[in-house]
Each structure stands twice: as structure tokens, then as C-alpha cells.
Amino acid sequence: MALDMRQIGARLRAWRLGTGLAPDVVAARLGVSRAALYTYEKDGIPRLDLLERAAALLGVSLAALIGIEVEHFASAAGFFERMRQAEAEADQILACFDPISILLASPAYPDRLRQMLAEAPGGDAGAGARALAVLEARRAQQAGRARPLTALVALPRLAQLLQTGLVGRDGLAAQILAERRGWAREEVAAIAARLEAPAIGVQIGLLEAVPPSQTFEVLLGGGTERVAVSPFRLGEYPNVTDGIATLSAEPATVALYAGLARRLWDGALKGERAAARLRQLLAV
């Protein structure tokens, strides 16, 4: 099997971001210059000894770094960076989210997510900041060169979101809770508006039953097709610290998730019917 050096470099960058280590620190531990590190992140690592040292430093297997294993991420920032890279290469995205997609959220959402992460119990401020930076880069990338996107979200989850509000923890003051429920209404209204006046290349389907518990995204075309499965949450009670996310290019796995997304899409509410259901939720 020929090694894809560019993908090795992309994995190196993603896992390096996930560790939170500065480029200078990683370069010093590898015994190379910072300029060389950036070259490796762009073009791949050409030497086995450096590959072995980089894998050990980042806490991953050599097989994962060179791309012959499923990629696992305990860091949301590293995983989101790897998704950003894969989205940049994809020709089409099939996504099932729970219940907020950073690619479709309102312009106000990143700042609101920042507030929820700050108030979440046991939150890691550094991990949250790194994850948010990559999420905003993903939004900017999709806005700059939008890939066809088919997005699925469950109606029961949106109804729950409207009741709970966009909160990072329980026990908020009544005035703050009312504001956060208002934020949730704005996000649901934004989805309804997208259904009523869809952007070119964006399709949204509403599922009447709750879908699989983890968010997944299938990235089709672009040379290497992949599926990303995430335990990280970007809605109410967000989580960017605990969980193991995966990215797989194994063809059978990609086909299974792509088939699941298409079956869910076939049974989903779409267009004006879907928008009307959301307007009914908002009217309660």
C-alpha cells in the first residue's frame, strides 16, 4: 500500500492541535526546526524514525499516523481539525447532528457555545478554546467554498432543546434561563428559515424519531471517502472534553453509514412540511 504523505501531514497537524502543544515544543521534541514541522504538516514526514517519534509524542500508534488504522481522537480540537481537513477535500457531506450543526448554526452561535462551555461544570478552558477555534475555521471554510450538504436532525431533540434552552449546566437563574430558551428558539427558527428558503446545495431533513445516539458525518468524493463518528456535543450541555471520536476510510464502514444517512433522508420531513412542523414547535 502506497503511503499518502499529505494525509500523514494532515493527521500530524490534527493530533498536534489536539494535544495543545505549541509548534515550537513539538519541533524541539522531534529535534527539528519549527519550519520543518510546518513542512511535515503540509507534505508528510519522509523518515521512519521521525514518524515513530511523532507517534510516541502524540500518543497514537504508528499505524494510525500513517493511515492503516481507524483514527481515534480523545481531543475535540484534534478531531474537529481532522474533520475540517476531510470536509475541504469532500465533494458531498451527509450529516446527522444532535441537535446543532456548526456548519448550519446561526452567526451568533459560536459566542453562545463559548458561554455554555465556560459555565459547564468541570470544563477545560484551554480545550474549549482550541475546539472553538477549529469550529470557527470549519464554518469559515464551508462559507467560503460550500460543499453540497445533506443534514438530518431529529424533531424530538429540537423540542427538547426548546424546553431546556442553550445551557451549559443546570441551576441557572430564571432570567438567564429565559434568555437561553430564547437562544434555542432563534436556532430552531434559523433551521425553519433554511427550510423555507434553502441555500443552493443545502438540504435539511427532520427525523420524527430520535436517530442513533452519536453524531456522524459521511464525507463522499474527493479521492478518499470517510465517515466521522463523534461523541462531542455542541448543543445544550455541550461537551468537548470527554469521549473518543473516530474517523474511518474503511470502505465497508463508509458504505454502511452512507446507506444509513440515505435511509434516514428518505423517511425525513423536508421543505415546507418540515418548516411547518418547526413553526408549530415554536408556536407552543
Mind listing the pLDDT tens digit for each residue in 209-252? Answer: 877 677 999 999 988 899 999 999 999 999 998 899 999 988 88
The angle that helices 48-58 and 23-30 make with each other, rounded to 10 degrees, is 130
Between 81 and 210, whose confidence is greater? 81
Residue 65: per-residue pLDDT: 85
**Rounded to whole angstroms, how far apart are CA atoms 109 and 235?**
10
Residue 47: per-residue pLDDT: 87
pLDDT band for position 2 (cuts 50, 70, 90): low
Between 118 and 68, whose confidence is greater? 118
Mean of the per-residue pLDDT values of the chain: 91
**Rounded to whole angstroms, how far apart are CA atoms 243 and 95?**
19
Structural contact between residues 33 and 42, judged by C-beta atoms closer than 8 angstroms: no
pLDDT band for position 85 (cuts 50, 70, 90): very high
Structural contact between residues 86 and 228, judged by C-beta atoms closer than 8 angstroms: yes
Q: Which residues neighbour 182 within 8 Å (Cβ) at sequence distance 6 or greater?
A: 165
Residue 117: per-residue pLDDT: 94
| Total length of the chain | 284
* Bridge partners, 230 (sequence order): 215
Place of cell 443534514: 151
* Greatest alpha-carbon span in the chain: 62
**Rounded to whole angstroms, how far apart are CA atoms 132 and 113?**
8
Residue 59: per-residue pLDDT: 85
Indicate if the pLDDT at residue 1 is higher than 70. Answer: no
pLDDT tens digits for 97-108?
988 999 999 999
**Rounded to whole angstroms, how far apart are CA atoms 145 and 234?**
23
138, three cell numbers? 470549519
pLDDT tens digits for 27-54?
999 999 999 999 999 998 888 888 899 9
pLDDT tens digits for 102-146?
999 999 999 999 999 999 988 788 889 999 999 999 999 998 887
Q: What would the mean pLDDT of 255-265 be, rounded to a whole number?
A: 94
264 closest CA partner among 215, 220, 230: 215
pLDDT band for position 63 (cuts 50, 70, 90): confident
Q: Which residues neighbour 81 within 8 Å (Cβ) at sequence distance 6 or greater?
A: 13, 14, 17, 18, 134, 137
Between 147 and 195, whose confidence is greater? 195
CATH classification for the domain delimited by 5-69, as one of 3.40.630.30, 1.10.260.40, 3.90.550.10, 3.90.1570.10: 1.10.260.40
Kindly list the domain boundaries of the chain, sorted by start residue.
5-69, 72-283
**Rounded to whole angstroms, how far apart are CA atoms 141 and 136?**
9
**Looking at domain 72-283, what is its CATH homologous superfamily?**
Endonuclease Chain A (3.30.870.10)
pLDDT tens digits for 230-241?
999 999 999 998
Evaluate whether 5-69 and 72-283 have a shared fold. no
